[in-house]
Amino acid sequence: MKKIVSTCLMVLFSVFLFGQTSDPIVGKWQNPSGEGRIEIYKKGNKFFGKLYWIKDANKKDEKNPDSNLRSRKIQGLEILTNFSKEGDTYIDGQIYDPKSGKTYSCKMTLKGKDKLDIRGYMGVSLLGRTETWKRIE
């Protein structure tokens, strides 16, 4: 009996420690133009994304509204911030566009396991633009 209880406790502990599967959005994604790759990760209960690779690794954040940040490199920037999960959609986050220097409200929706719709908008989601990112290994 002790052996059964001990085994059950070990299984429960393993599931708690190691069995928490990562969320399906977590991973590496490429934008449609192929210019950038973003790694999405979870911090606490929120989701974030970092621009970990771009074609021109020396490109600066020249359009940033904060003049003190215009000399920093774009590669490595956290461009997706504070998303909450709601089903297959991630809401209430923001996306920073280094090409324009603007930050938009954003929602992300999984389309299968390898496609992610990113919708940036101002005010209402109907007034925005969507692009589809593809998962990469």
**pLDDT of 81-121, one tens digit each?**
999 999 889 999 999 999 999 999 999 999 988 999 999 99
Contact 135, 125 (CB under 8 A): no
**Burial of 105 by CB count in 10 Å (0-12 exposed, 13-18 middle, 19+ buried)?**
middle
- Cα distances from 68 to residues 63, 64, 65, in angstroms, run 11, 9, 9
pLDDT of residue 88: 86
Average pLDDT over residues 75-80: 97
Q: Could you give all domains of the chain from N- to C-terminal order, each with its CATH number?
A: 22-136 (2.40.128.520)
Per-residue pLDDT tens for 21-63? 579 999 999 999 999 999 999 999 999 999 999 999 999 999 9
pLDDT of residue 19: 40
pLDDT of residue 125: 77
Average pLDDT over residues 7-25: 51
Residue tagged 């509204």 (tokens) = 65
Phi–psi pair at 46, nearest 5 degrees: -115, 160
16 has a pLDDT exceeding 50: no
Mode of pairing for the β-strands spanning 89-97 and 78-86: antiparallel
CA dihedral of residues 68, 73, 75, 79 (deg, nearest 10): 10
The helix or strand, by DSSP H or E, that contains position 35, with its residue range, turns out to be: none
pLDDT of residue 8: 38
13 has a pLDDT exceeding 80: no
Confidence label for 124 from pLDDT (cuts 50, 70 and 90): confident
